Amino acid sequence: MHPVLLQFGNFKVYSWGFMLAVATIVAIVGIGSVFEREGYDRDMVLDMIILMVVFGILGGRIAYILFYEWPAFIAAPGMFFSPGFTGLVWYGAFVGGLLAFMFYIWRKSLNFWEMADMFVPYLALGYALVRIGCFLNGCCYGLPTGTEYGVVFPAVDNLLRHPTQLYSSMLNFILFIYLLWLLPRRKFIGQVFLAYLMGYSIYRFIIEFFRFSLINYGPFTLGQVYTMIMFVVALGLYFWIRVKDSKTIYVRRGRRR
């Protein structure tokens, strides 16, 4: 593993942080082009993404401490600021970034669903890139496996383990391609965002069977419990908005007549 990608004297470039920076730059460029194509000011993208990344990291760190390191945090609060962005939970990062996103669009009087549709393909792409950083960092590893594609994570043990970070990266690259294809073909505003939530939920639920987890509820991991809730909520919203949108179209057509 290579948790430190580069080092210049005492200055270290951490692999996870580097991949996060790459994902951020790619998102700024990609979403900016989508904004421009859809007639929005692409200058907003930089502010939105930086705000989401900052609050996403804070949310991910807070969630990690609450679930995994609360006693250690009480004993030494300074551990909140660990180097290399280690110790983050995706769900906390998602909620933190989403709250920042919602605050920004509220201040600018923008449409949430429209903005979310344009952002989520690059959220999937960014996730795929950051998971490569997880692999280099040696975190988020899988369960032991006897298969030939197992990987040893020296900081953990000498066992061959599923490289679940790379599985996640590959599947999210596929999800990114699908969402990017869906965006100009969506049937209603919000479809792409909700498709992402459902796609992520399905992928994550499956990958958790191969990933090491510290917290389990019966046969399910904490991640699977979260994703089941996310999938049900997203599916309900999907059908609710789709039906609502179709009724609106019907009324508008009726008025034309």
Q: Give me the pLDDT at residue 83, please.
A: 60
The burial of 87, by beta-carbon neighbours within 10 Å (0-12 exposed, 13-18 middle, 19 or more buried), is given as: middle
Q: Give me the pLDDT at residue 89, please.
A: 87
pLDDT band at residue 67 under the 50/70/90 scheme? confident
Residues 87-131: pLDDT tens digits? 788 889 999 999 999 999 999 999 999 999 999 999 999 999 999
> Taking CA 29 as the corner, what is the angle to CA 45 and CA 111, rounded to the nearest 5 degrees?
35
Residue 190 predicted with pLDDT over 70? yes
Q: Give me the pLDDT at residue 247, please.
A: 60
pLDDT band at residue 78 under the 50/70/90 scheme? confident
Give the CA count within 13 Å in the CB-facing half-sphere of 145: 18
Q: Give me the pLDDT at residue 250, please.
A: 44
Give the CA count within 13 Å in the CB-facing half-sphere of 218: 2
The residue extents of the domains of the chain are 4-256
Mean pLDDT in residue range 147-173? 94
155 versus 51: the higher-pLDDT residue is 51
> What is 45-96 written as a DSSP string?
HHHHHHHHHHHHHHHHHHHHHHHH-HHHHHH-GGGGG-GGG-S--HHHHHHH
What distance in Å separates the CA atoms of residue 90 and residue 16, rounded to the nearest whole number? 14
CA neighbor of 16 nearest in space, from 81, 77, 88, 122:
88
Q: Is 120 helix (H, G, I), strand (E, B) or coil?
A: helix
User: What proportion of the chain, given as a percentage, has pLDDT over 70?
Assistant: 93
88 versus 151: the higher-pLDDT residue is 151
